[in-house]
Every structure is written in structure tokens, then in C-alpha cells.
Structure 1
Amino acid sequence: MTLDQTLILSILAASVGLFLWGRWRHDMVALAALLACVFTGLIPGQDAFAGFGHGAVITVACVLVLSRGLQSTGAIDVLAQKLLPKNAGLAIGAAMLTALGAFLSAFMNNVGALALLMPVAIQLARKQEVPPGVVLMPLAFGTILGGMTTLIGTPPNLIVSGFRADLTGEPFRMFDYSPVGALVALTGVVFITVIGWRLVPRREPAGAESFDTGHYLTEVRVTEKNKVVGKPLREAEDLLDKDEAQIVGLVRNDLRVQAPNPARVLRAGDILVLEAEPEALSAVLSSLGLALEEDVETESDDEAEQASAPTSEDEESEKESGDDSGSALQEWAALPGSTLLGRSASDIRLRTRFGINLLAVSRQGKRSVKRLRSIRVRAGDVLLLQGSSDAISAFGKEFGCIPLAERSIGVPDKGKAALGVSIMGLAILAAAIGWVPAAVAFAAGVLGFMVSGVLPMRSMYEAIDWPVIVLLAAMIPVAGVMASTGAADLLAQLLLENVAGGNAIVAVVLLMVITMTLSDFMNNAATAAVMCQIAISSAAVLSVNPDTLLMAVAIGASCSFLTPIGHQNNTLILGPGGFRFGDYWRLGLPMEIIVVLVGTPLLLWVWPL
């Protein structure tokens, strides 16, 4: 093993470890790997950022913009309204919703497709009086399956196509993935809708008026006239028992105490951190005569607002919102990629800028005694917000959150909706027939959206998921180093000799399973970039068709069903579905087995070795 091979394999091993650790965001890890390659001399400095001009990166950015345009014009809402039955039962409704999600994901960003259909899924669950997760998990898995069917369905397909272009001079075309991907997706959707949805863990059944987002962590303040002042904590806990709520923390003089001693005497000004069901909040407050912390104006609150130094624009926004804090109480989920992630209510000056109170946060499997205003939001968190409907909607739009409630399905502009669909269709057609490269076709589509006003100019760059773009642009040169140093050949040879035994069919299955497994725990685009080089080297060692092995990587990278962190859509349903980390494998493991059993023979038939 040469020094360069040792260096690149060490950098990749460290990167995979950081991806799995999850402490750093995936674009930070990818950028660190790229710079490590530059500093060690593996990548010339002038070529470090060549990945930003790669066709796959440009195509991903353009598809995200086009997807946002279709969402904002209401075109997808119209499709959902026309295709989904109004009074269908649970099985038929979930089946139609899952199939529609799979179809939409073939032609638009699958996170966007899920976000559009989530409120419909939750409403269906509410009507059928079942936990929302029973509908949400099939829908999420359906949107993941749909992404594997076309070139633009998911970033890994674009990555694989780019490596094929570098190898043969010809990328995969728009529907080259369809013969295998569509049949695998169809099989998966049929399994989900007939059997799979019954495997989804059911938490507490949701009532007709609400859905189970799990327990909320809520702050309440003990006031001067409260009946628990001067009494031990255990007496307050006894009163809360009947409402199925419990005290999990206490804040006194900015000192946070987790699991406080039941003998501790309560004082006026203490803040109790309660864990309770959303429906129980009202009963909890009335039982003890407590007040929601965000409804209590204190001197410390005023100081905090002054410390945030709001601008005149912020103050004007607050005045416009008024003091109508009780006009709406809504639950919103934080999308993966939301600009809210990693930030707290204090960081964004939620009350000052929007006139909104953060009353509670639901995060499955986690407890915190941090002040609500200090809790940093994670993907899939459900936020209970209090304020005017317009203010809450403005907040959700700006920070990338979606409402978890019934919404009206309307068309803001029928003309723009039709124009947007037409432009998107022409871009897909141009890429499919090979008239121009996919990146050029979809860039032209974006220009069409800009010229025609389908999507406001200010929304163009907001639509792009920049962490994903940085990840792709950084990992493509790093993966290229694996080829230039011979590290990919070395790994392929070790893999084929020690595991596959030189059998090409076993190598196909092995590549698919390894890619799928890695994608369950790290970003699937990064997984595809690394595994493509190993696939190309394996094809050379075995003297077989590289397309077969590249397609195996594409399928594996598109099918992460075992964990909530493997795919953004899995993360998005974690909070609204009331799921825990270990809930996904019950449906996810059969799904991955089906993908391998169905995908392998199809792959060998459509792309023979």
C-alpha cells in the first residue's frame, strides 16, 4: 500500500466515522475531507472546488428550484386533490397516498413530495382514528422508492450517472433507471399497501380531534398566588398524576435541575418543566393554577428582549402582529434542511420578530430541562406555537417548517401552475431524448421559471438545499482521489477475493447490500460517491459490465429504510409519527430484503454482466 493510498483511506475512514457520529453536519464533514486531501497533496489546490461545476451538482440544484416552483404554484395540490379519494378507508387511502408519493418523487425532490402530502396523510389518520405514523411511514417509504426510478429522482442517481460519464463518456439517461427502479418501486409499494402498513408500530391511538406527536416538554411558572407555593414538589406531582403528566425538571434562579427531589419546596417564580400529552396541557394548567411560561411577562424576559437588540424593522413587525397571542395554537414540524435547525427561539427572536410564543417542543426519546427558548431545534422536532395564524405561517415559510394539521388545498395561480408543469415537462423531455445534457436541460427550465415569473426571484436561491450542494461538490473530488491513487482498486480486490470469491453475481449483491447498509447511517449521496469508485474498480477486476455494478450502487443508495437518520424523509416523520429510533426496522428490514431479492435478478436481466 502506497503512502497516497494510506492517506486517502485514512481520510475516508475518518469521514465515515464523522458521518456516523452525526455531531457535525454532513456538508462540514465533506468539506473537511476535501481540505484534508488538498493539504496532504492528494488534490491540487486549483482543482479543489472543481466539483461545484460538476453536472450532477448543477442538476440537483436546478431540480430543487423546479420542485419549489411546482409546489408554490399549487400544481401538486391540484394533482393530489384530483387523484386522492375523498371518503376512502384507511387501506385504500394509504395505498393511494403512497402511490402518489412514489410517482411525484420520480420527478421532483422527494423531501418536497413528502412535505406536500404529510398534512393529507395526517388528516386521513385523524378521520380513521389511527396514529398518524400508520400512514406517514408508508408514505415516506413510498417517496424514497419513487426516487430511484429516474435520473432526477434522487441525488445518488445523478452521482452514479456522473461517474458513468467519466468512465465511458456517456452518462445514464433520464429513464435508464426505470426498468429496474420502477419494478422494484412498484413491488415495494404493493408490499407496503397490502402488508407493510400493518407492521408499523402503533403508539397510543390518536383521537378524532388530534394526532399523536408524543409527549411535549412544556414550561409553566409558579406564580405568587398559586396554591402549590410553599408545598413540596411531590404534592404537585400527585395532582398531575390524574392528567398523566409529570415534572421532569425545575428552573430556579437560572439554575436547571433535572429530576428534582420530590421534597424540594416550591417557591413563587419557579419554572417547572412538564412532560405531558398535547391534549392534557389545559387540564394540567387548571389543576395547579399554573401559567405557561411564555404568557408570563417578567423582568428577566424584558432584559432578554433588550439584549437581543431588535431592529426597528423587528419592532414594527411586532407591532403589526399585535398582542393576539391566543388567536391560534398550531403544531409545526421542522423539515430536514430547515434554516431553523441548530437554532433556538432566542437566536431567531421568535417573540420579538414574529409575535409568536414557543409553548412546547416534542422530540421523541429525548428529555431536556433547558429553557424552551434555549432548546436548539432538530430535524423532525414538533413545535407548539401560539400566535396569529398569519404570523405563524410567515414563520413556517421563512424557516422551512410544515403544519401538522388539515390545510385547504388551493391553487394560487392556475396559469402559473400550468406554465410550470409545461416548462418542467419540456426540461424532462429534452433530457430524456438526449437533446442536451440533463444539467443544461434543467438549467434552461430554471431560466424559464425566472423569465415567466413561475417562482419569485427571491425564492430561487432559497429553494436550493445548500448543505447538499456543498456535500456533493466536496465529495466528488475526494472520490476521484480513490481512483487516481489506486485505493479503489485495492479495496475492490480485497472485497472480491475475500468475500465475493471472484463471483460477479455475488459482487453485485455485495455492493448493493454494503451501499444500502452505509446509507442507513450516513448521507446517501456521500455513500454513492465513495461506492461508485469501488464498483468501477470491481468491474475492471472481474472484466464485467460496469453499468451493472453502478446500478447496484444506485439502488442501494436509494433504499435506506432501517433508521430515522438514513434519509431526510425518515427524519421528517420521526416527531409527527411519534416514532422512536428502533421503530423503523420492523417495516424497513422487510423492505430492504425485498429490494435485494427483486432488484438483483432484474438488474442482471436489464444490465447483463
Structure 2
Amino acid sequence: MTPEQAALLILLVAMLFLFSLDRLRIEVIAIGGLLAGYVLGLYPADGIFAGFASPVVITVVEILLVVQVLARTKLFDSLAERFVVSRLSHFQVISGVSAFSGFVSIFMNNIGAFAITLPLVLRLSAVMGIPRRQLVMPVSFAALLGGLVSLIGTPANLLVSDALEKATGKGFRFFDFAYVGLPVAILGILLITLIAQRLFSEPDEPAAAPHPPARRIVVERSIPEHSPLVGATLAQCPERFGIQPHALVRDRAFVFGPLEQSVIQPGDVLLAQGADLIFANLAACQALVPEAHPHGLQPDFASIEAVVMPESTVVGSRIASLEVFRNRGVTVSALSMRSPRIEGRFADLQLSIGDILVLEGPKAAIAEALEECECLPLASAVPFPTSSASWRPFAIFACGVGASAFGLRPDIALAFVVLALALVGYLNIRHAMADLNWPIIIMLGAMIPIGQAVVTTGTAETIAVWLGLAFPIGHPLWGIALVLFLAMALTPFVNNATVAIVLAPIALEFARVGQHAPQAYLIAVAAGASQDFLTPFGHHNNTLSMSIGSYRFGDFLRAGWPLTLAGYILTLILIALFWL
């Protein structure tokens, strides 16, 4: 192994490790790795930023622009009512909604498909009494499975197609992935529906119940004079009132000391965590009183839940610094957070992806603020702007997909879609570009030169030789099985685009060593990179579903391993049938 190859491997391992820790922002890691590769001499100066001109990055940008338009339409709102009146079983409803999520994901990125389907999921949970935990995870996983079917379903597919085109002069066609992806998606949706109903079998709420299953939230409330909490100690709060205290403030100063000696007095401010229904009951009996709304209760006053999306501008911000809400008279009254660390006061809490905000204020102001900061409302009462003819954006998009399916390059076809949406007034490109998920785009553009260096430095060939000594990769099925295993082992810890960038050169080298067609190996990379079901942090969909569905880390392992095992076996069989 040459020093150059050793340096590249060390760089890749270090970047994968940092990605998996999720401590630094992904764009910071990617840019740092990109510059480190230049310092190490892995690519020339004119190749550092070549990845940002890649058709893959351009296509991802175009898809995200189109998703912004489609997510604002109300074309599918009537689906909820149809499910309600159809009198289908819970299994049929869960599998049907999941199939819809998977179908949408064929034509847009996974997060966009999940976001479009999520309001439908929450409405069905509330109206039909289906436990939220039985719905959210299957729909999230279905969005990942749907991405297996088409060229634009997920960035991993675009990346392996780009690698194939560079190696052979011709990439994959639009639905080449469907031979493997469609059967795997169908099996996966049916399997996760069964698993979710078995694992999360809590008794259904009555169909007419107006509230979803309880969620743990953090609130900061005042103690009125006649509150039943007056005279109780902080140590007694969990047993007597069902809440976990985190801080007690008196005269704007923290009350320190053992919990058994910290007695609650009238006028104190309590920071506590517990089920939302418990706090609702305590508020109803005037045991806890929220601070007065800064602008009073206006006629259009509303209380709306919203989830912090991966592209939200408030990620990493503290509640005290959320001017986007404060300037519009909107108050953050409660927070359901993923982080177990609760320090300081409520205003000091830091937001992360998947946290759920409870916002109070005028409906129009909440809608405007959520649109600006890219948070997803979880209540249909928020009046987001919609198109007067919501089918037209979908028709324009369908034309672009059809053109791509008949041979036009996806980046060119989608460029026509973006232009058409802008010309007819559905898309403001200037505003939409500002709202893009730039960390993902930067990560893609920065990782492409590093992935190409795996080929140009001979590192892929060296790795293939090493693995060839341990496995009989001369037989194509053994090599494909190994590539598929590596992809599915990495993707729970690293995003699927990075997995595709790292493994595509190794898969091509496997094919060259065994003198086989490379298509089967690259299909294995793409399919394995997108079957991410074992952890809540491997994909943003999993992170969001963990918070919205109130899952634990172990729930992903319990639900994900049968799906992962079945997906691995079926993917291998289908590749052998259609690509060997």
C-alpha cells in the first residue's frame, strides 16, 4: 500500500467516524475532509470543487426545489377522509398509507415524501384511534423503501448511476432500480406493518378521542397561590403529580439544595418534564399557570405543534434566541425534545432535529414563522399558502419524470420542471434557493472528489485485492453479497449518499477483478445504502419518526433487524435473477 492510499483510507475512516458521532455539522466535516484531501495530494487544485458541478448535485438541488412546491399543495388531503369512511382494518390503513409514502418517494427524496405524508398520518391516528407508534415508523421506513425503485428516489441511486456512467459510458435508466427495489419495497412495507402492530400493540384509544397518545414534554410554569403543589417538595412531584422537576426558580434565582428539602412556594416558577396530558390536567385545575401571552388571546389564537426538520434554521438555537417567533407574537409554550439533558431554564433549552415545539399565537403568524424557519406543522389548522389548482405542479413534475424515463438526462429533465414551475408562478427560485437543505448539498459536493480519489489512487483496487484473499469474489454472487453486506452495515451509522460514494469504486473494482458486468455490484451498493432501519440517527427520517412516534432506541433494533435480514436475502436473490 502506498502512502497516498494509506492517507486516503485514514481520511475516510476518520470522516465516517465523525459522521457517525453526529457531534459536528455534516457540512463542516465534509469541507474539512475535502481540504484535507487536497493537502494530502489526493487530487489537484482544479478538482477540489468539481463535485459541486456534478450532475448528481445539480439533480438533488432540482429535486429539493420541486419538493418545496409539491409539499405546499393540498392534493392528497382528501385521502384522509377516504380512509376514515372506507372502514378498512388497521392493517389495511397502515399498509395503505405506507404504500402511499413509498409511492411518493419514488419521485422525490425520502424526507420530502415523509413530510408530505406526515399530516395524513397524524390525522388518521387521531380520527381512527390507531396508535401513533403503529403508523409513524412504517410510513418513515416506507419512504426509504420507495427510494429504491427509481433513479431519483434517493441520492445513492444517482451516485451509483454516475459511477457506472464514468466506468462504462452509460448510466442506469430511470426504472432500472425497480427490478430489485419494487419487490423489496412491497415486502418491506407488509413486513414492517405486521411488526409495528405486534411490537407497539398498546390498546387503541377510542375512535372519537380528540387527543393523540401522550408525549413527554418540557414546560416552565408558575405556581399560583392555591395550587396543590404548594407545600410539596420537589422529591414528591413524580409520585404525587406524575411530573419530573428539573429546576425551581424563586425571585429570579434558582433554588438549590436536596430535592427532599426544596419546598414549592406560591409565585415560584417550576421547570418540569412529563406527559402532555398530565400538564393539561394540572393547568385545568389551576395547579400550574403559564405566563401571559405577550399580545393577549387574539381572535385567531391557536396552539400548534411543529417538528424541527433537518433543514430547519432553528437547529442548534436556544429558545431564548428564536426571534422568528417572538417578533410575530408567537410563544413556545412547551417542547418535546430528544436530548436527555435539561439544564438552566426553559429559554436555555437547545433545539435539535426531531424536537417538537408547541406554539401559541395567531394562526397566520405561526404559519408565516414556520414557513420561514422550515419547521413542519403537525396540525392542519395552520393556514399555509396553497395553490388554487394543486394538480398542476404534479402534472408538470410528471412530465419531467416521463421525459427522464424515456432517456432525457434527469438533471436536464428536472431543469425544465423547475423552469416551468417558476414561469407559471408556483416557484420563486430566489426564495426557494435560500430554503434548500444546503448541508446535504455541500456534503454531496465535497464527498464526490474524495470518492473519485478512491479510484484514481488505486485504493479501490487494493481493498478489492485484500477482500479477494478472504472471500471468493471471483464468483459474482460472493462479491455482490459482500458489497451488499458492507453497504447495509455502514448505512445505519452514516448517511446513504456517503456510503454510495465510498463503496461504488470498490464495487467497480470487484467487478473488474472478477471480469463481471458492474451493474449488479452497483445495484447492490444502492439497495444496501438505502435499507437503513437499525438506528434512529442513520437517516433523518428515522430521527424524525423517533421523536414524533415517541420511540426508544431499542425500538429501531427490534423492528429493524427482521426488515434488514429479509431485505438482504431478497435483494441478493433479485440481483441474481435480474442482473447476473
Classify the TM-score, shorter chain. Answer: over 0.9
CA contact (8 A) 2:216 2:276 kept: yes
CA distance in 2, matches of 1:476, 1:197: 37
1:301 aligned residue: none
The aligned amino acid for 1:172 is F
Instruction: Name the counterpart of 2:105.
Output: 105
Match of 1:29 in 2: 29
* Corresponding residue number in structure 2 for 1:19: 19
Give the secondary structure class of the aligned counterpart of 1:188: helix
Measure, in 2, the Cα distance between the counterparts of 1:548 and 1:495. Answer: 18
User: Residues 212 and 32 of structure 1: is their aligned pair in 2 closer, same or farther, counting only changes over 3 Å?
Assistant: farther
The one-character-per-residue Cα deviations of 1:174-221 (angstroms, maximum 9, x if unpaired) are 11111111121122223234x233244356865622123521111123
CA contact (8 A) 1:77 1:409 kept: no
User: How many Å apart are 1:242 and its aligned residue?
Assistant: 4.4
Further displaced range: 571-580 or 275-284: 275-284
Corresponding letter in the other structure for 2:311: G
What CA deviation, in whole Å up to 9, does each residue of 1:237-266 have, x standing for no partner? 546644422323334677668995220244
Q: Distance in 2 between matches of 1:18 and 1:462?
A: 27
State the SS of the aligned residue for 1:97: helix
Q: Tell me if the contact between 2:72 and 2:387 (Cα under 8 Å) persists in the aligned partners.
A: no
**Counterpart contact for 2:71–2:115, Cα < 8 Å:** no
The equivalent position to 2:275 in structure 1, one of 250, 274, 277, is 277
* 1:431 maps to amino acid: S
Deviation at 1:394, TM superposition (A): 1.7
SS in 1 for 2:521: helix
- Checking the alignment, whether the CA contact within 8 Å between 2:338 and 2:352 is kept in structure 1 is no
RMSD across aligned C-alpha pairs, in angstroms?
2.8
Q: Which residue of 2 aligns with 1:219?
A: 220
Q: Give the match for residue 196 of structure 2.
A: 197
Amino acid at match of 2:220: E
SS where residue 262 of structure 1 aligns? helix
Verify the 8 A CA contact 1:322 1:355 in the aligned structure 2.
no
Matches within 5 A, 1:325-364: 327-350=301-324, 352-364=326-338
Q: Which amino acid aligns with 1:590?
A: P
Match for residue 65 of structure 2?
Answer: 65
Query: Identity of counterpart residues, as a percentage?
Result: 31
In the TM superposition, residue 373 of structure 1 has moved relative to its aligned partner by 1.9
Aligned to 2:156: 156
Aligned mates of 1:228, 1:213 — CA distance in 2: 22
When residues 213 and 535 of structure 1 are mapped into structure 2, their CA distance, relative to the original with a 3 A threshold, is farther
CA distance, structure 1, for counterparts of residue 149 and residue 9 of structure 2: 32
User: SS of the counterpart of 1:179?
Assistant: helix
User: Counterpart amino acid of 1:521?
Assistant: F
Q: Which runs of 5+ in 2 are unaligned?
A: none
**Are 1:364 and 1:579, in contact at CA under 8 Å, matched by a contact in 2?**
no
CA contact (8 A) 1:364 1:575 kept: yes
Tell me the distance in 2 between the aligned counterparts of 1:375 and 1:203. Answer: 31
Q: Give the direction of change, closer, same or farther, for the CA distance of 1:104–1:554 in structure 2 (3 Å limit).
A: same
Instruction: For 1:369 and 1:209, locate their aligned partners in 2 and report how far apart those are by CA, in whole Å.
Output: 33
Q: Which residue of 1 aligns with 2:568?
A: 596
Query: For 1:369 and 1:259, how far apart are their aligned partners in 2?
Result: 16
Distance 1:75-1:471 versus aligned 2 partners, 3 A rule: same
Letter of the 1:295 counterpart: A
Report deviation, 1:555.
Answer: 0.2
CA distance in 1, matches of 2:204, 2:253: 37
Larger displacement relative to structure 2 (365-374 or 81-90)? 81-90
C-alpha deviation, 1:369, in angstroms:
2.9
- Match in the other structure for 1:605: 577
CA contact (8 A) 1:151 1:157 kept: yes
Q: Please list, as runs of the form range in 1=range in 2, the aligned pairs for 1:251-270 lying within 5 A after superposition.
A: 251=249, 261-266=259-264, 270=268
Q: Distance in 1 between matches of 2:257 and 2:220?
A: 14
- 1:394 corresponding residue in structure 2: 368
SS at structure 1 position matched to 2:159: helix
1:130-167 Cα offsets, whole Å, 9 max, x none, are 42111111111111111110000111101111111111
Q: Is 2:427 the counterpart of 1:427?
A: no
Change in 2 beyond 3 A, CA 1:171/1:243 = same
Q: Which amino acid aligns with 2:91?
A: A
Q: C-alpha offsets along residues 290-327 of structure 1, whole Å, 9 cap, x if unaligned?
A: 332x4388xxxxxxxxxxxxxxxxxxxxxxx7663992
Structure 1 unaligned spans of 5+: 298-320
Q: Size of the alignment, in residue pairs?
A: 578
**Counterpart contact for 2:374–2:435, Cα < 8 Å:** no
Q: 1:65 to 1:259 in 2, by over 3 A?
A: farther
For 1:37 and 1:247, how far apart are their aligned partners in 2?
A: 49
Distance in structure 2 (CA, Å) of the matches to 1:110 and 1:204: 30
Determine the C-alpha separation between the residues in 2 that align with 1:156 and 1:296. 47
Q: In structure 1, the residue corresponding to 2:72 is in which secondary structure?
A: helix
More deviation, 494-503/322-331:
322-331
Matched residue SS, 1:295 = coil
Tell me the CA shift for residue 543 of structure 1.
1.6
**3-state SS of paired residue (2:445):** helix
Preserved CA contact (<8 Å) 2:219 2:335: yes
Could you tell me the TM-score, scaled by structure 2's length?
Answer: 0.92
Shift of residue 282 of structure 1? 3.3
Secondary structure of residue in 1 paired with 2:354: coil
Aligned to 1:167: 167
C-alpha spacing 1:202/1:253, structure 2 compared with 1 (3 Å): farther
1:150 partner SS? coil
**In the alignment, does 2:109 pair up with 1:135?**
no
Match of 2:532 among 550, 555, 560: 560
Could you say if the C-alpha distance between residues 43 and 77 of structure 1 is closer, same or farther in structure 2, counting changes exceeding 3 Å? farther
What's the offset of the Cα at 1:226? 6.6
Partner of 2:487: 515
- Aligned-partner Cα distance in 2 for 1:174–1:259: 65
C-alpha distance 385-284 of structure 1, shift in aligned 2 (>3 A): same
C-alpha separation between the residues in 2 aligned to 1:430 and 1:123? 35
1:329 positional shift: 1.8
Cα distance in 2, alignment partners of residues 296 and 258 from structure 1:
29
2:325 and 2:369 in contact (8 A); partners too: no
Paired letter, 1:180 = V
